Structure formats: structure tokens, C-alpha cells
């Protein structure tokens, strides 16, 4: 399997970096998951990925830990 760095961003107004991180955490913990990501592979090639929320929700509802080779 390859390794990827998956990044999401949200513009947040805050007084400090820690407050911004806490507000991001709050957003992730209480709101819908983001669907826009920047995915970077081991060769440092980055791709913007925009997921379809319906398909992403269906994928998330399935246990993929049993056989990750079928992803």
C-alpha cells in the first residue's frame, strides 16, 4: 500500500493559531465531514479531490477494515 498525506482546510478567524485549531476541531467534531481534500503521495505529487457527499457517506458506513485490498 502507498502512503498519502491528506489535508483539508477551512478559513477560520481566530485570535491565535491554537484557537483556530480548536475551532477546526470543533467543526470536525460537530459538523459534517469535509468533502474537499488535497492528497499528496510519496513522490510529493498533490491532487485536489472533491468527494461526492452521498458516495462518501455510503463508503464511510461500510467497515473496510476486514479486507483493505478491496478498497
- What secondary structure does DSSP assign to 1-67, as a single string? ----EEE-------SSHHHHHHHHHHHHHHSPPP-EEEEE-TT--EEEEE--HHHHHHHHTS--SS-
Percent of the chain with pLDDT over 70: 92
Q: Would you say residue 67 has pLDDT above 70?
A: no
The structural domain count of the chain equals 1
Average pLDDT of span 44-69: 88
Tens of pLDDT, residues 19-48: 999 999 999 999 999 999 999 999 999 999
Range of the domain at 39: 5-70
pLDDT at 64: 75
Amino acid at each position: 500500500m502507498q502512503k498519502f498525506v491528506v489535508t483539508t482546510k477551512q478559513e477560520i478567524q481566530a485570535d491565535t493559531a491554537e484557537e483556530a485549531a480548536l475551532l477546526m476541531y470543533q467543526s470536525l467534531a460537530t459538523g459534517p465531514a469535509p468533502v474537499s481534500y488535497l492528497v499528496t503521495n510519496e513522490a510529493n505529487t498533490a491532487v485536489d479531490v472533491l468527494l461526492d457527499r452521498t458516495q462518501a457517506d455510503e463508503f464511510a458506513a461500510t467497515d473496510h477494515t476486514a479486507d483493505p485490498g478491496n478498497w
